[in-house]
Amino acid sequence: MSEPTIDLAGCPIIDAHSHGWRTDELLALEPAGFLDRITMMGMCLISSELLDAPLEGHLRSLTDSTPLASMMRRRLAARLGVEPTREAVGTARLAALREDPQGYLGGLWQHAGLAGAIVDEGYPQPTIPTAELQAAANLPIHRVARIEPWIVALRDGAASFDEMEDAFVATAERAPDEGAVAFKSIIAYRTGLDVQPWSREDARAAFDRWRADGWRESREHAKPVRDVLLRRTFEVAATAGGLPIHIHCGGGDPAIVLAHARPQDLFALLSERLHQPVVLIHSGQPWLDEGAYVASILPHVYLEMSITMPWASLAIDTKLEALLGIAPPSKVLYGSDEATEPEVLWLSALVGREALQRVLGRAVARGWLEHDEARDVGAGVLGGNAARLHGITL
Ligand SMILES: [Zn+2]
């Protein structure tokens, strides 16, 4: 008996969390390392700058038995018309990227039904201007303005916390007019998600101590400043037409403050802001059930499913069932967190659509949803929910 599925072939995909790339940098990378760079291990070692020569060989041996790498190797080989080997795929995709990057990538997006990407401009640094990325990617790009690079850029020139805060707020206020569809914070990578209600005096004193400490990240000095500036971002977003705030929530690369990265750490702040849309980027994975629970009780907390998608591979279906079963499905957004190689946007969209078709097919078979309801849920998760939340026309 074949598995029940819901056909979502015609539903456009908006990737709600991804990152840009510079084609010339991709062309300079070793072709045979392509599959290593798309694994969770490879991506994290690169983004946290921990990949050294001894780790590179070990990484390669881990890649060879990783389901996602195997899937990419075989499906991209079929797409490129080459043998499904590490070397052949790495060489052929490099040649395609060199000869006609827009044509090659545009073909992938069309094949996967990818209609646009909501891109966190904070990685890689320096920021890639949206227009530049959109031209290189041959895909509609929607900008997410990350607040942490502003703090780095502004703190040295500020004589006091008040001066820095004013400059920060002015920068944030300009973002919607400069095309941003959301704000983003990675405070979980800096001082943790447990944002506290500091006084102005706390923030002023902490700013001076932080400077004296050489801007070293610490929960004693940096945290009060970062917490207050994130709160100011909420205020700016609320007045700027209700722009959503994306907050990295859950694990990440080894630079994460893992002790304070859980959805429950963010709960106090989210509870104060019941009417304001916040997207938990990664849904709190590996505490995904906890993220889904928070979104099930706080009305404007959304869940974005990258990291699960595509890296959980074998486990994607059960994770999706948890998200869609626990939280209202109209607050669940498809996303990939592609951050190294653009082909991840494509593969993740393919496997994401397929997993959703299976999960929703089972939901109908078990009597939880009617067929048309399941199809609407699928269309929303793939693109409709992200489009509605960010004011994007599909
Ligand atoms: Zn990301």
Instruction: Measure 71 CA to ligand 1 centroid, in angstroms.
Output: 22
Instruction: Please tell me the distance from the alpha carbon of residue 378 to that of residue 282, in angstroms, as a whole number.
Output: 18
Instruction: Measure 188 CA to ligand 1 centroid, in angstroms.
Output: 12
C-alpha closest to that of 386 among 325, 306, 320, 322: 306
What confidence score (pLDDT) does residue 51 get?
85
pLDDT digits (tens, 9 = 90+) for 279-326: 999 999 999 999 999 999 999 999 999 999 999 999 999 999 999 999
pLDDT digits (tens, 9 = 90+) for 54-100: 888 899 999 999 999 999 999 999 999 999 999 999 999 999 999 99
- pLDDT > 80? residue 47: no
Instruction: Measure 120 CA to ligand 1 centroid, in angstroms.
Output: 7
Instruction: Measure 63 CA to ligand 1 centroid, in angstroms.
Output: 21
Residue partners of 290: CB distance under 8 A and separation at least 6: 262, 263, 264, 284
What confidence score (pLDDT) does residue 1 get?
60
C-alpha closest to that of 116 among 144, 83, 99, 138: 138
Instruction: Measure 303 CA to ligand 1 centroid, in angstroms.
Output: 14
Instruction: Measure 339 CA to ligand 1 centroid, in angstroms.
Output: 7
Q: How many residues does the chain have?
A: 394
What confidence score (pLDDT) does residue 45 get?
85
Query: Cα torsion for 84, 90, 94, 96, to the nearest 10°?
Result: 10
Residue partners of 298: CB distance under 8 A and separation at least 6: 270, 271, 274
Instruction: Measure 281 CA to ligand 1 centroid, in angstroms.
Output: 8
C-alpha closest to that of 273 among 236, 305, 224, 248: 236
Instruction: Measure 109 CA to ligand 1 centroid, in angstroms.
Output: 19
Percent pLDDT > 90 in the chain is: 92
- pLDDT > 90? residue 13: yes
C-alpha closest to that of 33 among 17, 51, 50, 21: 51
Instruction: Measure 159 CA to ligand 1 centroid, in angstroms.
Output: 32
pLDDT digits (tens, 9 = 90+) for 344-353: 999 999 999 9
Instruction: Measure 363 CA to ligand 1 centroid, in angstroms.
Output: 30
Mean pLDDT within 106-128: 97
Mean pLDDT within 245-256: 92
pLDDT digits (tens, 9 = 90+) for 257-286: 999 999 999 999 999 999 999 999 999 999
Percent pLDDT > 70 in the chain is: 100
What confidence score (pLDDT) does residue 347 get?
98
- pLDDT > 90? residue 49: no
What confidence score (pLDDT) does residue 202 get?
97
pLDDT digits (tens, 9 = 90+) for 329-340: 999 999 999 988
Instruction: Measure 19 CA to ligand 1 centroid, in angstroms.
Output: 6
What confidence score (pLDDT) does residue 57 get?
87
Query: How confident is residue 18, by pLDDT bands cut at 50, 70 and 90?
Result: very high
Sign of dihedral through CA atoms 186, 188, 194, 199? negative
pLDDT digits (tens, 9 = 90+) for 131-162: 999 999 999 999 999 999 999 999 999 999 99
What mean pLDDT is reported for the chain?
A: 96
Mean pLDDT within 176-185: 97
Instruction: Measure 160 CA to ligand 1 centroid, in angstroms.
Output: 31
Of 345 and 45, the structure prediction assigns the larger pLDDT to 345
